[in-house]
Amino acid sequence: MTSPFPRALGEPRLLLAVDAPSLLHRNHHARAESDLRDRSGRPAWALHGMLRQILEAIERFDPDAVIFGLDDRTASVRAKAYPDYKAGRAVKDAALVDQLDRAGALLDALGLATLTPAGLEADDVSASAATWAGRNGWNCVIVTSDRDSFAHISDHTKVLRLIDGGMGNAPLLNPDRLHTLYGVAARQYLEFAALRGDASDNLPGVAGIGAKTAPVLLAQMGSMAAVWADIDHCEGRHVAAALDSWSTETGGRRVGAAVVRRLAAPGARERYEFNLAMMAGRDDLDLGLTPDVPGTPGLLPLDADRVSRVVGHLNVGATTSLAVRVLSERILAR
C-alpha cells in the first residue's frame, strides 16, 4: 500500500502516534471469542490484535518513529473536575483490564516509546505528538478509533481512524476529508465538538445547537470568539443576519434569531467553555523522543532478537515472524 506521505529524499520524517487504549478496547471486543492466551496462560487476544494493527500501520506508513499513548488508570484530572466524565460506560471486563495494564510493558519491552501522562489520557499524547511533529518539521499520523483526535488534524497531521473492518478499511482523514464529513475546517473542529457535545464522554452539548447547526454557525462567523463577541456587544444581530442570509441562499427557513436565543440562554456559554476545556488535549507533554540518538526508544528498526523474544511470548508464530520482518528487517528507505 502506498504511503500517503511521499517519502522522497528531503521529505519530512514521519511520527506514528498510536492511541493504544482505543486499539485494545476494539480488539478485546472483536477477538474475545478466540480466547488467545500467552505462554503464561494470561489473556492476550486484545494485545495480539493491537500488535497486529500496529504492524499493519507501520508497514503502511513506514514511519521513522512510533510513540504510544496510554491512559493513566490511577487518576484523572478530567474526572476530578467533572465526576460524571465518561459516566454511564459499561464496567470493563477483567480480561480487558488485565491487558490494558500489561500493554505498556509489552511495548516498552519491544523498544518502542510509550507515555502514560500523570492524570491524563492517550489523546493528550496524540495532541502533543501532533504539536511535536509540527515544531520539528515532521509529519504525523495518529492511529485511533476516537474522534477527539480530529481536533489535531492539520496540513502535517492526519488521523487514521479505526472503525469496523479493521486497518484496511480505516479512513485516513486530512483537512479536506474532515470538512467533507463535518462541514468544518480542521481548525474549527474543537469548537464544533464543544458545541455538539460528546455522548461517549457524557458531555452534553449546547442546547439546540447540534451537529447540523454548529458547522453553519462556524462557517458564517469564522469562530466562536466572533460569535460571543457579537452577542456581548450587538445582542447577536450580526450572527442572526449572517445565518438568515445563509438560510435565504440555501432555501431554508430563517433560524438566526432562534440560534442567538439558544446561545444567549443561561448556561449556554458556560457549557461550551466547559466542553472546550474538557475536550482540548494537552499539547505540551514531553514525549521523550530523541530522533537523532540511534537506538533510543521509538526509533525504527528494532533489534530482531528482542522482537522475536517479546512477541513470541504472545504465542502466535505468524505474528512473531511478521513483527521481526516489519520492525527489524525492513530497509527503511529515506
Mapping DSSP onto H, E and C, the string for the chain reads: CCCCCCCCCCCCCEEEEEEHHHHHHHHHHHHHHHCCECCCCCECHHHHHHHHHHHHHHHHHCCCEEEEECCCCCCCHHHHHCCCCCCCCCCCCHHHHHHHHHHHHHHHHHCCEEECCCCCCHHHHHHHHHHHHHHHCCEEEEEECCHHHHHHCCCCEEEEECCCCCHHHCCEECHHHHHHHHCCCHHHHHHHHHHHEEHHHCEECCCCCCCCHHHHHHHHHCCHHHHHHHHHHHCCHHHHHHHHHHHHHHCCCCCHHHHHHHHHCCCHHHHHHHHHHHHCCCCCCCCCCCCCCCCCCCECCCCHHHHHHHHHCCCCHHHHHHHHHHHHHCCCCC
Which pLDDT value is given to residue 294?
85
- Residue 166 has a pLDDT of 74
pLDDT of residue 165: 65
**What integer pLDDT is reported at residue 39 of this predicted model?**
97
What pLDDT does 207 receive? 97
- Spell out the per-residue pLDDT of the chain, length 334, in tens: 444 444 566 789 999 999 999 999 999 999 999 999 999 999 999 999 999 999 999 999 999 999 999 999 999 999 999 999 998 788 899 999 999 999 999 999 999 999 999 999 999 999 999 999 999 999 999 999 989 999 999 999 999 999 876 787 889 999 999 999 999 999 999 999 999 999 999 999 999 999 999 999 999 999 999 999 999 999 999 999 999 999 999 999 999 999 999 999 999 999 999 999 999 999 999 999 999 898 889 999 999 999 999 999 999 999 999 999 999 986 444 4
> pTM score, two decimals?
0.92
| pLDDT number for residue 332 | 46
**Domains identified in the chain and CATH numbers:** 14-182+282-329 (3.40.50.1010), 189-279 (1.10.150)
pLDDT, residue 246, reads 95
